[in-house]
Amino acid sequence: MFENCDLCGFKCNVNRNIKKGVCGLGTLPKLALVSTHMWEEPCISGDKGSGTVFFSGCNFSCIFCQNYKISQENFGKEVSVERLSEIFIEQQERGVNNINLVSPTPYVPVIVEALKMAKAKGLTIPVVYNTNGYDSLETLKMLEGYVDIYLPDFKYFDDEIAMKYSKIPNYFDVVTKALLEMQRQVGKAEFNDNGIMKKGLIIRHLILPGNVLQTKKILSWIKENMPKDIFISIMAQYFPTYKAKDTEPINRKISKKEYEMVVELISDFKNGYIQELRRARRRICSII
């Protein structure tokens, strides 16, 4: 797939063995951080933490990215596929609840190979695919059987907003098709005796200031197209950083009124989480 890359919604068809595509990345996995992360959703982190593996680079160009050093400036170190498989095993040995692949889309072919190796060495904990959601159907089908939990973003409803803030074309069509494919693969959510998710889908949405209408449209689509027991995660952690500081209306935090409007919108959902506004940077979640 690297020879004619169509891993994400751009489908730039570049031979990444020779040159870099829209994402600006080569073929070896480039890692920015390996950690035990305590601040994901409660059913992902729990008390033991989530074994995050942060990949460098991104196919998005979000002007408000909080991790722009990693996503836009490609901070990180390349590792071999064999070393990546060892990292998965080392995370499991730390006692974490899962392997959490953060921004993995541009590296999926090598991630699959690394997971095959790790499973042969005894990897048994769930694998979380923590993505911006702009994955091609070909990519997701390659992941079937290797990913237990999908954790995608659903950022925008209107394509012009996606282009304005993230430079992403055809966003809505790509992401909604991806969400439906993720749901098909994992089905109804399953949990262990400690309330930690073993299998399932959680759709994340970040509230943007001045864009509550986007949130309303997204939640309406989810209600109309996904199972009634779907899990959602509403994030209130937005703060203006990177290039957003000079772009209205996202040059401020979300207001209390905007937050309360979203709380009202999610009243029909029975499963999921919403960040508490005052403690959002620490990703403290209330159960819906």
Residue 67 Cα to chain centre, angstroms? 13
Quick check: bond before 104 cis, omega within 30? no
pTM recorded for the entire structure: 0.95
Is the pLDDT at 288 greater than 80? The verdict is: no
pLDDT, one tens digit per residue, over 145-191 is: 999 999 999 999 999 999 999 999 999 999 999 999 999 999 999 99
Distance, CA of 167 to CA of 179 (rounded, Å): 20
Mean pLDDT, residues 231-258:
95
pLDDT, one tens digit per residue, over 106-156 is: 999 999 999 999 999 999 999 999 999 999 999 999 999 999 999 999 999
Contacts of 113 (CB under 8 A, 6+ apart): 81, 85
Local confidence band at 43 (pLDDT 50, 70, 90 cut-offs)? very high
Q: Which residue has the tokens 């940077």?
A: 281
pLDDT given for residue 114 in this prediction: 98
Nearest to 131 by CA among 62, 45, 203, 68: 203
Is the pLDDT at 209 greater than 90? The verdict is: yes
What domains are defined for the chain? 21-287 (3.20.20.70)
Distance, CA of 152 to CA of 155 (rounded, Å): 9
Average pLDDT, the chain: 94
| SS3 call for 245 | helix
Provide DSSP, 91-127.
HHHTT-S-EEEES-GGGHHHHHHHHHHHHHTT--S-E
Is the pLDDT at 287 greater than 80? The verdict is: no
Distance, CA of 128 to CA of 150 (rounded, Å): 6
Based on DSSP, count helices (H) and strands (E) in the chain, helices before strands.
Answer: 9, 11
